[in-house]
Structure 1
Amino acid sequence: MAKFARKLTPFTSNERKSEYHAEDRISELPDEVLILILSFMPVKEATRTSVLSRRWEKLWTFSPCLELDGSRELFNIRCHFWCTSYNPRREKEVLDSGRLRYINWVNRALESYHACAVDKFRIRFDLNERYRCDIDEWVRFAFEKKVKRFELDLSLYFGGVCNKSGSYPLCLQTLPSLSSISLTSLVLKQVNVSDEVLDNLISNSPFLECLCVGGSESLIHVRVASRFLCLKCVEIVMCVNIKSLELHAANLSSFKYNGPDIFINFMNIPNLVELCIEGLYVSYFARKMPQLSTSFSQLQKLALCVIHIEETMKRLEYPTLSHLKQLELHVFLHGDQSLLVFSRLIKACPSLSRLALELNWFKSATYVGRNVKKAKKRVHHSLKMVEVKKATKKKCVHHSLRVVEVRGFIGHTIDTKFCMNVIKNAIKLEKIIIDPIDPVVRGTPHENLRCEKVEAARVAAEKLRSKYFLGDKLILL
């Protein structure tokens, strides 16, 4: 063995020498290429390259993309308090300290920046009007650098806006001359932007393709209307005081709305192929679909977030959506409800190839009728069975449905019957994906909690596999 080791020693030594004297190919690249590589990295990672050599020291300051994303640190702070005993006062102190660190870091990064123009500028952290002076300076900096993709995300979590007071107000005085805006994408989350400011930004941005506004209390009457607009994507989310919305954009291909029940004037949207409706407006939209069918004749993807199934979807007639290929249903279950009320909607989509169902269970849904008298519960159950039989009396065969995904499956009668109905009627089904993890905690430190319930859901899913001979068609996550 020692003899064999001696034979290997010279080879190993030479190999190490060749590695040590290996040619540095990266340093041979021109600065323009290195800057392009750095532009794909977050600022925090890009700045670390400044210690490599004197040449690398300033390279990151010429990157056209400034990804000033502090959401990971914010998430870690909140996770710490989720996993320990809740202390509001201590949490506020830690968050305020984190906010100051983030602000100082952003200010240092912008002071060191040398590029003449910015392609992408992103701010992501939980900040409010207390830090208005610093945020104003960041906004001016970005627009003076002729920013193309601007994102100001001051929400509590990863892009999740909510109704909270004290949000940062974006004013016209903060913005430089609006006559020379180069925006192609504008994202404002948890930012109070008024009708006047938004109208000025839209009308002075001829190349704007993407617009997203979330959590603004100042929006009242929104008008996205111009035959010259390049807008392809519009999102209006959680603007609680909004009263009306007018859409007149011939190039619009994707629209998302989550908010109160308001009047939305769909005037000229011939290229709309993706539509997402959430919040209180879902009920109005579901009732008015026959009248709105001419505006949505080209739809290929529809997503609905339904909070009250019985009130929203029961006994509704739907127009035929002949081009619809993807249907996403985000459902909140409050009790002993039937998912088969969606059968009519699915039937109205003859070209549907993918169906995604996300279930959010309230505590009352797990144990049906816990506080209801037994006699009343039996009558209620009988009525439900009659309703379900009526819904399934006429067999609804799906000729195009190939992929079904159910997230938040718990193996309850409600979701099991829905899966059974789809399996029986989807004659070209290629795969059914079942995820027993609660969608709310998926991807968070709480994902592995409630192991017993998840295991019970897996057992119920396996019964479906054996009962309907699904084999590899059933994918259990």
Structure 2
Amino acid sequence: MEETEQSSRKRLKKVLDGNQIMPSSIDRLSGLPDAILIHILSFLPTKLSVATSILARRWRFLWAHVPNLDFDSETHSSESTTSFSGIIYRVMLLRKVQSINTFRLTYLCNCGKYELETWLATAIAGDVQKLDLYFPCNVVLPQCIFTCKTLVDMRLRGCYLGSLYFHVIISLPSLKKLHLSSVKFGNSYRNLMHFLSGSPVLEELIIDGIVDYDTCSYIICSPSIKRLMLNLQFDTYVSQSTADKVAIIAPSLRYFRLIDCLAGYIPGQRLSSLIEADVSFNNPKVVGEDYSYTLSVLRRIDLLCNVKYLKLSSGMVFNFIAFGDQSKPIRSFDNLTKLELDADCLFLKKFLESAENLQVLILREVHVHLKHWMEPNQVPKCLLSHLTTIRIDGMRCTQQEFDMVRYLLKNAQVLKRMEIYSRPDGIGFEAKFNALQRISLFHRGSVACELAFF
């Protein structure tokens, strides 16, 4: 018994001396340094961060040293608007640090102009670096946020920016990332241009939905932007008169992502510095194989002719005649080495003929868009000398799909591997086995080609 007690004392001494791992029942979180605990709290909304003050005496004022502020009126639904404003004031008053890394405010109630200016001026005085604001579209933002020297990342959602050009000075010398979501710019294209011109080092621009597209043109002009993401989807009807209203002039652009349901937009400049593009076209107002819409899409794609990696998707069937229109100059995609395609097979023919250096081809859900599959007039140069990898997803083993696979296997002279994936709900095991046997008998232009069917 005495030996057992001595052993217990020795183990306890080792724990207290730090020579042995503490039992799981001991609060290890409280054993962390304050700096680490404050860093953990910085990932929580301010309401939860403040709530940790009741855990123990040591936690009472840790939240006050957190450099991030995150207020959301929806999480305070039980309080009145006055109470929510009071919470923001009290938190800002009791904070122990001046600096603010991130200020995030979601205020879907009526927000007073004086209150908003006070909160944002406090954040700017704290050298805020990231600003995330979500207000109803009728809220006009104060001037102070547009002249913040320390701001690096800004996200505005549901705000009104319709008077920037005429009434607001824009000077954001450190801003590198700008995200605009459902922002209302009013009826002047100058508002967005003014915003961008006052952001000389901006590298990433995200525009997610445009509220007032029917009444305004948009010119995205910036010499510094490297990443551009446009989601031009609308909740309301967009008339055909809105065509040719978005222009892109970005000579340093490296990555471009576009979700587009418009009838068209101003061509602008060719994006000569582009490396990667991900574009999706789907206009629900276009009925059938519309000739003018097809030409508009082709013009937009031709702006990407210097891209190295292109991902193109569309759930629409395009006009066959527009693809062969002799009045339209044919662009060469000489830099394109990887193509991922989920669209009408007219695009497959277009890129096989115009991308001489294509190395990797990925076709997704091709069975849906095989209406226009046809063999090129002559074997494309990319099949003769560069295309080494082909992947086909979602195959249902229709005759047109077999024709396409047969053509690619026969003419791809340097192909190293073709992978074919059938839809999980598309064909049974026996049909899949028969398809593999059938494809295995196709002539292969490359003796080194491996065929895999999944």
Find the residue that maps to 2:375 and give its secondary structure.
helix
- Alignment TM-score, normalising by the size of structure 1: 0.58
- Residue 338 of structure 2, aligned match among 326, 349, 352: 326
Answer whether contact 2:69 2:103 (CA < 8 A) is retained.
Answer: yes
Q: State the partner residue of 1:3.
A: none
1-structure distance, mates of 2:306, 2:421: 30
Letter in 1 for 2:277: L
Task: Name the count of aligned residue pairs.
Answer: 378
Find the residue that maps to 1:264 and give its secondary structure.
coil
Answer whether contact 2:341 2:364 (CA < 8 A) is retained.
Answer: yes
Summarize the Cα distance change of 1:473–1:142 in structure 2 as closer, same or farther, 3 Å threshold.
Answer: farther
Is 1:349–2:333 an aligned residue pair?
no
2-structure distance, mates of 1:457, 1:134: 63
Summarize the Cα distance change of 1:418–1:185 in structure 2 as closer, same or farther, 3 Å threshold.
Answer: farther
Report the RMSD for the aligned CA atoms in angstroms: 5.4
Letter in 1 for 2:231: V
2-structure distance, mates of 1:247, 1:327: 23
Letter in 2 for 1:284: L
How far apart are residue 116 of structure 1 and its match?
4.6
Summarize the Cα distance change of 1:285–1:109 in structure 2 as closer, same or farther, 3 Å threshold.
Answer: farther
Give structure 1 stretches of 5+ with no counterpart: 1-6, 71-96, 156-166, 332-337, 369-383, 437-452
Answer whether contact 1:246 1:265 (CA < 8 A) is retained.
Answer: yes
Q: State the partner residue of 1:434.
A: 421
How do residues 262-277 of structure 1 correspond to structure 2 at under 5 angstroms? 262-267=264-269, 269-277=271-279
1-structure distance, mates of 2:113, 2:451: 51
- Residue 184 of structure 2, aligned match among 192, 207, 212: 192
How far apart are residue 222 of structure 1 and its match?
1.5
Answer whether contact 2:71 2:104 (CA < 8 A) is retained.
Answer: yes
Q: Is the radius of gyration larger for structure 1 or structure 2?
A: 2
Answer whether contact 1:151 1:186 (CA < 8 A) is retained.
Answer: no
- Residue 213 of structure 1, aligned match among 198, 207, 222: 207
Aligned identity (percent) is: 17
Q: State the partner residue of 2:146.
A: none
Give structure 2 stretches of 5+ with no counterpart: 137-156, 284-291, 441-447
Find the residue that maps to 1:193 and give its secondary structure.
coil
Find the residue that maps to 1:391 and give its secondary structure.
coil
Is 1:234–2:205 an aligned residue pair?
no
How far apart are residue 323 of structure 1 and its match?
1.0
Q: State the partner residue of 1:456.
A: 427
Letter in 2 for 1:326: K
Find the residue that maps to 2:324 and give its secondary structure.
coil
Summarize the Cα distance change of 1:24–1:264 in structure 2 as closer, same or farther, 3 Å threshold.
Answer: same
Letter in 2 for 1:400: H
- Residue 302 of structure 1, aligned match among 286, 306, 310: 310
Offset from partner CA, 1:49-72 (integer Å, 9 cap, x none): 7676555555556555667899xx
Offset from partner CA, 1:339-384 (integer Å, 9 cap, x none): 366223133223323333343988xx9xx9xxxxxxxxxxxxxxx7
Q: State the partner residue of 1:20.
A: 22
2-structure distance, mates of 1:235, 1:394: 37
Find the residue that maps to 2:178 and give its secondary structure.
strand
Answer whether contact 1:299 1:321 (CA < 8 A) is retained.
Answer: yes
Answer whether contact 2:193 2:221 (CA < 8 A) is retained.
Answer: no
- Alignment TM-score, normalising by the size of structure 2: 0.60
Structure with the bigger percentage of helix = 1
How far apart are residue 233 of structure 1 and its match?
1.8
Answer whether contact 2:105 2:133 (CA < 8 A) is retained.
Answer: yes
Summarize the Cα distance change of 1:434–1:225 in structure 2 as closer, same or farther, 3 Å threshold.
Answer: same
How far apart are residue 201 of structure 1 and its match?
2.5
Letter in 2 for 1:215: G
Find the residue that maps to 1:271 and give its secondary structure.
coil
- Residue 123 of structure 2, aligned match among 121, 145, 150: 145
Q: State the partner residue of 2:444.
A: none
Find the residue that maps to 1:266 and give its secondary structure.
coil
Answer whether contact 1:154 1:191 (CA < 8 A) is retained.
Answer: no
Q: State the partner residue of 1:315.
A: 324
Summarize the Cα distance change of 1:56–1:320 in structure 2 as closer, same or farther, 3 Å threshold.
Answer: farther
Answer whether contact 2:180 2:207 (CA < 8 A) is retained.
Answer: yes
- Residue 133 of structure 1, aligned match among 80, 89, 111: 111
Q: State the partner residue of 2:154.
A: none
How do residues 24-423 of structure 1 correspond to structure 2 at under 5 angstroms? 27=31, 29=33, 31=35, 35-36=38-39, 41=43, 43=45, 47=49, 54-56=57-59, 59=62, 63=66, 100=77, 112=91, 114=95, 116=98, 118-119=100-101, 131=109, 133=111, 141=119, 145-146=123-124, 148-150=129-131, 168-171=158-161, 178-180=170-172, 182-194=174-186, 195-219=189-213, 220-226=216-222, 229-238=223-232, 240=238, 241=242, 243-257=244-258, 258-267=260-269, 269-279=271-281, 280=283, 283-288=294-299, 296-311=304-319, 314-315=323-324, 318-331=330-343, 339=345, 342-359=348-365, 391=375, 394-396=378-380, 397=383, 399-413=385-399, 415=401, 417-419=403-405, 421-423=407-409
Answer whether contact 1:212 1:234 (CA < 8 A) is retained.
Answer: yes
Answer whether contact 1:234 1:256 (CA < 8 A) is retained.
Answer: yes
Summarize the Cα distance change of 1:139–1:62 in structure 2 as closer, same or farther, 3 Å threshold.
Answer: farther
Letter in 2 for 1:233: R
